[in-house]
Homo-oligomer: A and B are copies of this chain.
Amino acid sequence: MTHKHFIIIGGVAGGMSAATRLRRLDEDARITVLERGGHVSFANCGLPYYLGGVIEERESLLLQTPASLGSRFNLDVRVRTEAISIDRDAQTVLVRDLVTGEETTERYDALVLSPGATPVRPPIPGGERMLTLRDIDDVDAAMAELTVAPRTALVIGAGFIGLEMVENLVHRGLAVTLVELGDQVLPPLDPEMAGPVAERLREAGVDVRLGTQVTELGADTAVLSDGTVVAAEFVLASIGVRPDTSLATAAGLAIGERGGIRVDDQLRTSDPHIYAIGDAVEKTDAISGEQRLVALAGLANRHGRLVADAISGKTIRVRDALGTAVVGVMGLTIAATGWNEKLLRRIGRDIRVFHTHPASHTGYYPGAESMALKLVVDANTDEILGAQGVGGDGVDKRIDVIATAMTGGITASELADLELAYAPQYSSAKDPVNMLGYVALNAAEGLTPAIQWHELEAELDAGATLVDVRTPGEVADGAILGSINIPLDELRARRDELPEGRLIVHCKVGQRGHTAVRLLAQLGREAVNLDGGYLTWRAGATARTAVPELVN
Chain A contacts to B: CB under 8 angstroms: 13, 20, 24-28, 43, 45-46, 49, 54-55, 60-61, 63, 68, 71-74, 160, 164, 296-302, 305, 319, 321-328, 333, 335, 337, 362-366, 396-397, 399-401, 403-405, 407-410, 414, 416-427, 429-431, 434, 438, 447, 488-489, 492, 514-515, 518-519, 522-523
Contacts and interface: CB of A to CB of B under 8 A. Distances in A.
Contact of A434 (B298, B333, B401): B298
Given A49-B365, A298-B422, 18 more contacts: A20-B515, A27-B523, A28-B522, A45-B423, A46-B362, A68-B489, A74-B492, A297-B429, A299-B419, A300-B429, A327-B423, A328-B425, A335-B421, A337-B421, A400-B420, A407-B408, A407-B410, A408-B410
Chain B CB count within 10 A is highest, among A45, A54, A55, A419, for: A419
Given A405-B404, A423-B328, A426-B396, A438 B45 contact: no
B430 A418 contact: no
A421 B408 contact: no
A45 B408 contact: no
Nearest to A161: B423
A43 B424 contact: yes
Contacts of A492: 74
Contacts of A426: 326, 328, 333, 396
A296 B421 CA distance: 10
Contacts of A396: 397, 421, 426-427
B302 A423 contact: no
A71 B515 CA distance: 12
Contacts of A46: 362, 364-365, 424
14 contacts: A20-B515, A24-B515, A43-B362, A43-B424, A45-B424, A60-B364, A298-B430, A305-B416, A323-B419, A324-B419, A325-B421, A325-B422, A337-B419, A407-B408
Nearest to A408: B408
Nearest to A74: B492
A426 B386 CA distance: 20
Contacts of A438: 305
Closest 5 CB pairs of A and B: A408-B408, A326-B421, A27-B522, A297-B429, A60-B364
Copies in the complex: 2
B429 A13 contact: yes
Contacts of A425: 49, 328
Contact of A400 (B25, B305, B421): B421
Given A417-B302, A519-B27, A523-B27, A364 B55 contact: yes
A416 B45 contact: no
Chain B CB count within 10 A is highest, among A325, A399, A417, for: A417
Nearest to A27: B522
Given A27-B523, A404-B401, A405-B404, A421 B324 contact: yes
Contacts of A405: 404, 407-408
Chain B CB count within 10 A is highest, among A26, A61, A522, for: A522
Nearest to A515: B24
Contacts of A408: 404-405, 407-410
A164 B426 CA distance: 13
A302 B404 CA distance: 21
Contact of A422 (B27, B297, B423, B434): B297
A139 B305 CA distance: 54
Contacts of A26: 522
A518 B417 CA distance: 41
Nearest to A14: B429
Contacts of A49: 365, 424-425
A337 B420 CA distance: 9
Contacts of A45: 362, 422-424, 429
Contacts of A431: 298, 400
B404 A298 contact: no
A514 B72 CA distance: 12
Contacts of A328: 423, 425-426
